[in-house]
Amino acid sequence: MIQIPSILVPIDFSPYGDQALKYGCALAGKFGSQVHLLHVVDDYYPFVPEASVFIDQRDDYLAGLRTGAERELVKMPPADWRPADKVTRTIVVGTPFVEIVRYAKEHDIGLIVIGSHGRGGLSHVLMGSVAERVVRKAPCPVLTVRPGQHEFVLP
């Protein structure tokens, strides 16, 4: 029998992340899994040449993003999902796919459930895909949830 002691759901506060959260909670309910919610505050400063002018404001900027994320993450998963005591919420700063994979390795995660924006074409080439990179680098199986696809979990 398959056992999944822990499920990681990266949260980006988008509808795609919300959909992944539904799947993650449904699977956790079936398998009795611990749910790990991870939000990565994307630190753009190293990638923006002009950011060095504002480097003294970087800490304030990141602290503001972290505070906002904490305020929203505590509301997840929805109150009707139980057991709430099986939820771990974490916020880190870094590059999203790197931090997701790192967290999965450090916490011996059994499954990652991640939302995918489903971008294609030039948008995908320019922005890349966090979900795609996680699938390639993750130390465990990854379930990607795309918008408008077949739904196993009812709203």
Kindly report, residue by residue over 14-65, the tens digit of the pLDDT. 888 888 998 999 899 889 999 999 999 987 655 555 555 555 566 677 777 7
Of the segments 51-60, 88-97, 114-123, which one has the largest average pLDDT value?
Answer: 88-97
* pLDDT on residue 152: 66
Contact in structure between 127 and 119 (CB atoms under 8 Å):
yes
Bond into 15 cis (ω within 30): no
Of the segments 4-8, 21-25, 66-70, 80-84, which one has the largest average pLDDT value?
Answer: 4-8
Here the contacts of 122-130 (C-beta below 8 Å, separation 24 or greater) are: 130/10, 130/96, 130/97, 130/100
* pLDDT on residue 54: 55
Residue with tokens 């590059």: 95
Residue among 117, 121, 149 at smallest CA distance from 130: 117
Domains of the chain listed by start with CATH number: 6-145 (3.40.50.620)
* pLDDT on residue 118: 58
Contact in structure between 51 and 62 (CB atoms under 8 Å):
no
